[in-house]
Structure formats: structure tokens, C-alpha cells
Amino acid sequence: MRGIALVTDFGDQGPYVGQMELCLTERAPQAQVTRLISDLPPFRPDLAAYLLPALARDVAGPMLYLCVVDPSVGGERGVLAVEADGNWFVGPDNGLMALVVRRAAQRRVLRVTWRPRQMSASFHGRDMLAPVAAMLFNGERVDGEEIGVGEMAGNDSPQDRRCIIYGDRYGNLLTGLRAGQLDRRTTIQAGPNVLRFARTFCEVPSGTAFWYEDAFGLVELAVNQGRADQLLGLGPGDGITPLVSA
């Protein structure tokens, strides 16, 4: 395993990512730890589920992804450690890792039964998920039981999702649709607007909204020299519709 990547909705604000890193550097001192993304839409594992495989697609493996979008922390949801096409993913069993698993050719799902001696009610990312990630990175045994893919939360999620899953600093809107699944003649209805495909920003006039295949392989809505979030009035969770031309 060449490193551990952190994928969370904690924000760069606060001590949450920092405390997870300090736990990892204590328990897996050999691991190179990288903050891959910290500002996933809060409390929406159903959206992050479609970004996670897109983010991992172009990162050289084998990597361990420590994934925390966990609205039900303190409740009864389980913890999973998933091996998918050579990478490992550790996170709550709430659908966050459903698409990574569904799209993998080779996969194995472990429901983790190991529990730390002490665990806060609200920060399992530090107290449970980071220690599990460190153990896996170190090649140590993690107590758990292998389960079938059908037993994971979110196992019935669609392969693509027709909505905005993330908005970036520039106002670009990433969607849950893989661009490789769409013909370039497809248009995307987003609110009252219908967007055509362009290869990149400078192929459309300034101020024009369009869709393109972004660097993660997703359909992304953008505006040349403008903000798609403001022009289209859309954000994470809002639906979109691909329209096939006759």
C-alpha cells in the first residue's frame, strides 16, 4: 500500500482532519497521508458515493482511502473495510462506498467487528476508522466478517445518478453521471436550461453554460468565464436530466 488518502466532509476547518492524521501517523508511521478532499457535501454519503470512484480512478494504487461522511455517527450503522480492484476503502456502512464496490471487478467486503477500547460518541473517524485504516495499512489482522455485496447499505443504488454531487471553488457542478456512458450529442437539462457538450471551456462563448467530461470522467456543468452554480441556480442534490436527441 503506498499511502492513505483522506476523503471527508469535515471541511478544512476545525481539528477533525488534523486529529485523524495524528492518529494515523502514530499507528502507521510509514504511511504517507494525503488530504484528498475534505469538503464533500455535509451528511450526504449518497452523493459522495458517486464522487469516490471518480476520484480514485486516476490515482495510482494500491492506496487506502479513509472515508468519513457519517451523519449517523453514534447510531447503529456498521463499519466496513472494502477491497476493490487493489485499493482498500474504510468507512461507515451507509452507502458511501457502494459504487466503488458495485463497479469493481474484484472486491471483498469486511464488516468490521473490532472496536477500540475507548470511543467518543461523535468522532468515530478518529477513534475507530483511522485505527482500522492503520491496521490494514500495516498488514495487521482486523477482526470482522466477510459479507456479500448485497448486504451493504446502498447496494441498490443506480450505477449513475442524475443529480449534482459536488460544486467546486469555481462554481463548476460535478454530476453523478459518467461521461463515458453518454453520447456527445446528448444534451443535459438543468432546471430550465439545456446544455450542449463541449470538449473544454474555450470552445464555447464567454458566459455560455455547457457540459464536458471532467478530469474525473464525470459529466460536469460549467460556464466559460463564469459560475455554473450561479447561472444555473443549482447545487449538490439537485436533479438533472440527460436528453437523447432523436
> Which residues contribute to the site for a copy of itself (CB under 8 A)?
2-3, 5, 10-19, 21-23, 25-26, 29, 32, 34-39, 42-43, 51, 55, 58-60, 63, 71-75, 120-123, 126-127, 166, 168-170, 199-203, 212-216, 225
Choose between 58 and 183: whose C-beta lies nearer to a copy of itself: 58
Grid cell 459504487 in the structure block, residue: 99
Choose between 3 and 92: whose C-beta lies nearer to a copy of itself: 3
CA nearest 186: which of 245, 128, 127, 136? 245
Choose between 24 and 109: whose C-beta lies nearer to a copy of itself: 24
Choose between 19 and 189: whose C-beta lies nearer to a copy of itself: 19
Residue 164 beta carbon to a copy of itself: minimum distance, rounded to whole angstroms: 14
Residue 83 beta carbon to a copy of itself: minimum distance, rounded to whole angstroms: 19
Residue 190 beta carbon to a copy of itself: minimum distance, rounded to whole angstroms: 19
Grid cell in block for residue 62:
494500491
Residue 203 beta carbon to a copy of itself: minimum distance, rounded to whole angstroms: 8
Choose between 120 and 241: whose C-beta lies nearer to a copy of itself: 120
Tell me how far CA of residue 22 lies from CA of 15, 19, 139, 143, 192, in angstroms. 10, 5, 19, 23, 47
Residue 146 beta carbon to a copy of itself: minimum distance, rounded to whole angstroms: 28
Choose between 200 and 241: whose C-beta lies nearer to a copy of itself: 200
CA–CA dist 103, 11 (Å, integer): 27
CA nearest 164: which of 220, 116, 215, 214? 220
Residue 96 beta carbon to a copy of itself: minimum distance, rounded to whole angstroms: 15
